[in-house]
Amino acid sequence: MIACAPVAAPARRVEEPVRLADREYPYLVELEIGVLAPIGECVELAPLVPKLAGRAWSGRARRGQVGTRAGQDPLLRENPRGRLRGRDAVACTY
């Protein structure tokens, strides 16, 4: 996990999909990034999975964007291992 960011606006289709490696992303999703991990210091989700509950987490965690259910968001915002910091403080590492 590199950031906690609520969706700021509904997804919208773009004319030219963004292509990364062998995948295309035809939708733009605006996010409000509040906290962010410095590049190379992401937060590992595996230790949090038992607390997040639900069998679907292993498959969901493989996506770029993972939504949470009520009660899960505070766990992710607890700032595991102190890695997440204010966006403005670490955005320059990207």
What does the pLDDT look like over 23-36, one tens digit per residue? 899 999 898 988 88
Answer for the pair 72, 52: CB distance below 8 angstroms, yes or no.
Answer: yes
Tokens 């259910």 belong to residue: 69
pLDDT value of residue 17: 94
Answer for the pair 79, 38: CB distance below 8 angstroms, yes or no.
Answer: no
pLDDT value of residue 14: 95
pLDDT value of residue 15: 96
The residues of the chain scoring below 50 in pLDDT are none
Taking CA atoms, 48 is separated from 37, 45, 89, in Å, by 16, 5, 25
pLDDT value of residue 94: 86
Q: What is the CB-side half-sphere exposure of residue 75 using CA atoms within 13 A?
A: 13
Total count of domains within the chain: 1
pLDDT value of residue 16: 96
What is the domain extent for residue 57? 3-93
